Amino acid sequence: RSAVHKICAGQVILDLSSAVKELVENSLDAGATSIEVALKDYGQEWFQVVDNGCGISPANFKVLALKHHTSKLNDFLDLQSLTTFGFRGEALSSLCALGNLSVETRTKNETVATHLTYDHSGLLTEEKKSARQVGTTVTVKKLFSNLPVRSKEFSRNIRKEYGKLISLLNAYALISKGVRIVCTNTTGRNVKSVVLKTQGRDSLRDNIITVFGVSAFNCLEPVNICISEGCKVEGFLSKSGQGSGRNLGDRQFFFVNGRPVDMPKVSKLLNELYKGANSKQYPIAIMNFTLPTGACDVNVTPDKRKLFFSDETSILYALREGLQQVYSSTSV
């Protein structure tokens, strides 16, 4: 059982950023307005997500980390109208299999918090009282330590992993309204540094300003393209001649219905159109697609970042039309 569990777990949690992503999404699902991600040695020793969300009720302590335990999906119909990030109950059970998981939590109905420790198969092994405000802290120590190959890979790519994580946290900081996001890293000599700190404003515009600064924001212009009935793109794009001049992927953020996703085809289209008007530059892009449920399938890859669009060609076509108007009028 345990070997199978490890293999399956590996599909949801591919690396540091997918592990932290699951925890951050759980915090958002719990209604948190403050999320702090703490890393020790860039996440190699441990990482922790601290939130001020609703907390976990004692009735769920035992089953919390068991495979397919979720409090978010009651019947199949719910899948159609899903508003939470999580719904498959796989993240915590996967994290148990891949590292050492502990949880500290308190709901508003409790006067004290509880500290919970789980073993690799998701069983609760220790439960003790602790002190904490309402909310949840999930800590994972030694991710991948029981998978030697993955573990080696993890330490070899740690800087890259870390970069990917920061970019992902930036994506949540941009799209989440009213959620403060902080990330700290503590190095071997216990020097703690704040690597990201956002305020959690109420609009995409204000979030862009807190994440990238006013001068970066001033190089952008709003995009608002209607693709078809019930289907649109809103966000901000570099004005002509104001791109970042590099294409590290760290300044292009795509969302579908508020979820961060990878959109390589859209990115390629943007770069192409922008280059046509501006030679060597790459545009900064923060774009949220509003698509009707059913137009895409978030469940398609385990980390929920790759999407299938039922009508990708026409979405890309409409986008090209819309963007050509944005860029042709201002070509250099």
Instruction: Mark residue 290 as left, alpha or beta (left: phi above 0; alpha: psi -120 to 50; beta: remaining).
Output: beta
Nearest 5°: phi and psi at 234? -130, 145
Looking at residue 306, the DSSP 8-state letter turns out to be S
Q: In the bound complex, which residue of the shown chain has the CB atom lying closest to ligand ADP? A: 86
Q: Of Mg ion, ligand ADP, none, which one does residue 136 interact with (CB within 5 to 8 Å by kind)?
A: ligand ADP
Least separation in angstroms between CB 170 and ligand ADP: 20
Q: Which residues bind ligand ADP (CB under 6 A)?
A: 22, 26-27, 30, 51, 53-56, 60, 64, 69-72, 86-92, 136
Closer Cβ to ligand ADP, 57 or 224, answer by number: 57
Sign of the alpha-carbon torsion through 261, 101, 82, 294? positive
Q: How far is CA 53 from the centre of its chain?
A: 17
Cα-Cα-Cα-Cα dihedral of 24, 25, 28, 34, to 10°? 10
Q: Of ligand ADP, Mg ion, none, which one does residue 27 interact with (CB within 5 to 8 Å by kind)?
A: ligand ADP
Closer Cβ to ligand ADP, 89 or 235, answer by number: 89
User: Is the Cβ–Cβ distance between 180 and 170 less than 8 Å?
Assistant: no
Least separation in angstroms between CB 299 and ligand ADP: 11
91 lines the binding site for Mg ion (CB under 5 A)? yes
User: Which 126-145 residues touch Mg ion, going by CB under 5 A?
Assistant: none
Closer Cβ to Mg ion, 87 or 253, answer by number: 87
For the window 19-38, what string marks contact with Mg ion as x by the rule CB under 5 A?
-------x------------
User: Is the Cβ–Cβ distance between 50 and 137 less than 8 Å?
Assistant: yes
Q: Is 30 helix (H, G, I), strand (E, B) or coil?
A: coil
Those residues whose C-beta lies under 8 Å from the C-beta of residue 178, and which sit 6 or more positions away, are 33, 200, 201, 202
Q: How many residues bind Mg ion (CB under 5 A)?
A: 3
Least separation in angstroms between CB 51 and ligand ADP: 5
Looking at residue 15, the DSSP 8-state letter turns out to be S
Least separation in angstroms between CB 168 and ligand ADP: 16
Those residues whose C-beta lies under 8 Å from the C-beta of residue 208, and which sit 6 or more positions away, are 174, 216, 217, 220, 236, 286
Least separation in angstroms between CB 62 and ligand ADP: 12
101 lines the binding site for Mg ion (CB under 5 A)? no
Token duo for residue 158:
């740690």
Least separation in angstroms between CB 95 and Mg ion: 10
Rule CB under 5 A: which residues touch Mg ion?
26, 86, 91
